[in-house]
Amino acid sequence: MTQATQTLTTSTAATLKALKCRECGTEYELKATHVCEFCFGPLEVTYDYNALRRMVTRETIAAGPNSIWRYRSFLPVATDNVIDVGTGMTPLVRSNRLARRLGLNKLYIKNDAVNMPTLSFKDRVVSVALTRARELGFSTVSCASTGNLANSTAAIAAYAGLDCCVFIPSDLEAGKVLGTLVYGPRVMAVQGNYDQVNRLCSEIANTYGWGFVNINLRPYYSEGSKTLGYEVAEQLGWQLPDHIVAPLASGSLFTKIYKGFQDFIKVGLVDEKPVRFSGAQAEGCSPIAQAYREGRDFVTPVKPNTIAKSIAIGNPADGVYAIDIARKTNGNIESVTDAEIIEGMKLLAETEGIFTETAGGTTVAVLKKLVEAGKIDPDETTVVYITGNGLKTQEAIHGYINQPLTIEPKLDSFERALERSQTLDRLEWQQVLV
């Protein structure tokens, strides 16, 4: 028996089948490859759902670790030796004040702003990708990143003892750059936008034999986002919501939440029901929203220009699949301006005590816009996905929040400041926006 066959006899591997082209259906071995040789379509991991139905119950999942690895049978890894840094199982919070403000009766917030270890949903996809990278024998791992992915790849590679080199656009927020460098990887700040970084990395992946989590390992990486679907279903008491709102960069996360719900329906973990899928983009980089609005089946690439850098992908790989899902589920894809994004960040912070980054501000602003347009029913159980942490994009809201009131260490100084603060209140920054 070869080494490879031995690892594939573990129980988890029994559920894994192949890589399959989403366009023409050609199947490939479970290697580090992501594009179909015949039609250039993207490859996706397939599973043996009969085996999953026999193996997995609500009880076996609930008895698993308090991380994404409780869903290991649905993830594309072959061994038990997974990289578990405690990623996943983030809070699903029942919204009170934001819900009331928007006029929604059953709003939930899936809060990946506190995902571990680097405070964005990317820790999910990277935990899966690096586990698979190690199984496939890679010693150097890499990525083309809009910021959060570099944070996750560098941190989890450090934990796993893998050599790491990441690529970012050179104009990223300071928090994202520092939050990568601290883990000690090589960091290449490329003078170009994400789409140029991505193109460069495709060339490097072909010649250097590195494991790029979102290029040659993309079929494995992307499956990690399914856990955002699984967790919401489990946290709602093994039920699906009526409507979800999530951000769109490449569109991968959005399509994989959908696949996650479908997986649970297929194996009987939840009852089948229609779930509406609505996507959020920043107007300054909204190729998917534009195509959706115009009823197109193809996405025309754009040049990004927005403060929402983490979702600024001008040429989104999964854009057409995201459009398809939004259409067939009777959802929507909307975009909002940078001013609305800042307002969304402030709104979530002030009503729910959650400080999200620009991507989360985009999602909250789109949620608001859809409610105001009557495109979300107040009685729908709606889940809004908050995917990143605001401490990493502080410059985005500089100038839009109040300054502290500097006082002398004396009671009368405090009292004067208190009086002044009551008249100023919150008007200052709001006026900047209007």
Ligand X SMILES: *Cc1c(COP(=O)(O)O)cnc(C)c1O
The footprint of ligand X (CB under 6 A) covers 120, 122, 146, 148, 247-253, 310-311, 357, 359, 387-388
Smaller CB distance to ligand X: residue 211 or 319? 319
Q: Is 23 in the site for Zn ion (CB under 5 A)?
A: yes
15 binds, among ligand X, Zn ion, none (CB under 5 to 8 A by kind): none
Smaller CB distance to Zn ion: residue 26 or 329? 26
Q: How far is CA 115 from CA 120, 125, 276, in A?
A: 5, 12, 25
Smaller CB distance to Zn ion: residue 36 or 150? 36
Q: Is 349 in the site for Zn ion (CB under 5 A)?
A: no
Determine if residue 237 is left, alpha or beta; phi over 0 gives left, psi from -120 to 50 gives alpha, anything else beta: left
Smaller CB distance to Zn ion: residue 44 or 334? 44
Smaller CB distance to Zn ion: residue 38 or 414? 38
Q: Which residues contact 264 (CB under 8 A, 6 or more apart)?
A: 229, 230, 233, 240, 270
Shortest Cβ 279–ligand X spacing (Å): 9
Amino acid symbol at 192: G
Q: Is 56 in the site for Zn ion (CB under 5 A)?
A: no
24 binds, among Zn ion, ligand X, none (CB under 5 to 8 A by kind): Zn ion
Shortest Cβ 219–Zn ion spacing (Å): 13
CB 277 within 8 A of CB 331: yes
Shortest Cβ 42–Zn ion spacing (Å): 9
Residue with token string 């899902």: 325
389 binds, among Zn ion, ligand X, none (CB under 5 to 8 A by kind): none
* β-bridge partners, 18: 46
* β-bridge partners, 143: 166
Shortest Cβ 44–Zn ion spacing (Å): 11
21 binds, among ligand X, Zn ion, none (CB under 5 to 8 A by kind): Zn ion
Shortest Cβ 28–ligand X spacing (Å): 22
**Which tokens is 68 given?**
């994404």
Distance, in Å, from the CA atom of 308 to the CA atom of 55, rounded to the nearest integer, reads 41
Number of residues that bind Zn ion (CB under 5 A): 8
Determine if residue 86 is left, alpha or beta; phi over 0 gives left, psi from -120 to 50 gives alpha, anything else beta: left
In this chain, which of 13, 16, 21, 269 binds Zn ion, going by CB under 5 A? 21
Residue with token string 């809201």: 397
For residue 20, count other CB atoms closer than 10 A to its CB: 19
* DSSP 8-state class, residue 315: S
* DSSP 8-state class, residue 266: H
Q: Is 24 in the site for Zn ion (CB under 5 A)?
A: yes
**Which tokens is 175 given?**
């928090």
Q: Is 37 in the site for Zn ion (CB under 5 A)?
A: no
Smaller CB distance to ligand X: residue 12 or 387? 387
* Residues contributing to the site for Zn ion (CB under 5 A): 21, 23-24, 26, 36, 38-39, 41
